[in-house]
Amino acid sequence: MAANKRGDEIVTVGLVGLGKMGKPMAMNLVKAGLQVVVSSATEDAYQEFIAKGARATSDLGEVARADTIILCLPNSDVVRSVLLGADGLAARLQRGQTVVDTSTITYAATLEIGEALAKRGIAFIDAPVSGMEARAVEGTLTVMCGGSDEVFGRVRPLLAHVGNKILHMGGIGSGQLTKLINQLLFDINCAALAEILPMAAKMGLDCARVAEVVNSGTGRSYASEFFVPRVLDGGFSVGYPMQDAYKDLVSGAEIGARLCIPMPVLAAATATYQMALLQGHGAKDKGAMIRVFEDLLGVRFRAAEGPAHVGES
């Protein structure tokens, strides 16, 4: 068993994955006074954590000695490799330890991982997060958890250091399903903005004023509030890259096909997303979906006097 516990309290935490979300989450755990050991594919952030009193290592064996291990990784394949690969964590963990996966991965992969860990006596909870990087820094993420009541109760105080809304959604996989539903609604909103807003520019409306109406009227959404001001400025590099986020649309399509759930609006949004990827916008954020329809109409939805046509920023 891993040492360093005070009763049932989690004291030592290992966190694997120091990307846009994982790094601030790990830093908030350090600030909470926990003994934290971090690991990542690159060592760029290691010195920053060492300076704050945490340990940093590329040795998963050292991470495996923590009471609880948190993963914040890019996709299902990476999570499988880190946990279940030949040199993965699962083979190094002992019965009674806990793995919390805050990555956004597929429902099927989550069930597979949960089953594999259960056979080893390792507790598991899927706990994907929502809120983007700014809320990760603030420690105000929404965390959607799937797992047993007992495991959720044990890790909830730990997750409270990274989020202010910690929800138990049901058994293993329920967190990922809930996150997927939220993401698909967000994706549909982004695709709708991309399709409709260029029409305003095409018809000669003042784009900045149209944006003001949308974000103060019934057409507003989190997607419009986040992306529309950035689109007006021609900025498409703030949010998560589309090429990495596409996995959510694939997951939605797979579930819909397998369970015969018709989702025609999602299918249309997926087509817009695919056109943006095919046109080379994958490294940009979801706001860049608007470029598909801007190019089609020969306009730009930007903060400028009069209609902004192609050739202007």
Is 199 exposed, middle or buried (CB count within 10 Å of its CB: 0-12, 13-18, 19+)? middle
The contacts of residue 33 (CB under 8 Å, 6+ apart) are none
Q: Which two tokens stand for residue 4?
A: 């360093």
> How many angstroms separate the CA atoms of 48 and 31, rounded?
13
Question: Which residue type sits at 112?
Answer: E
SS3 3: coil
The residues annotated with a catalytic role in the active site are 179
How crowded is residue 104: how many other Cβ atoms within 10 Å of its Cβ? 27
* Alpha carbon 148 to its chain's center: 23
The contacts of residue 136 (CB under 8 Å, 6+ apart) are 20, 21, 24, 25, 129, 162
HSE-up of residue 26 (Cα within 13 Å, Cβ side): 31
H/E stretch holding 192:
helix 174-202
CA dihedral 148, 177, 255, 259 (to 10 degrees): 60
Cα separations in angstroms, 164 against 54, 133, 146, 156: 23, 14, 17, 11
Question: Which residue type sits at 50?
Answer: I
Is 66 exposed, middle or buried (CB count within 10 Å of its CB: 0-12, 13-18, 19+)? buried
> How many angstroms separate the CA atoms of 273 and 254, rounded?
16
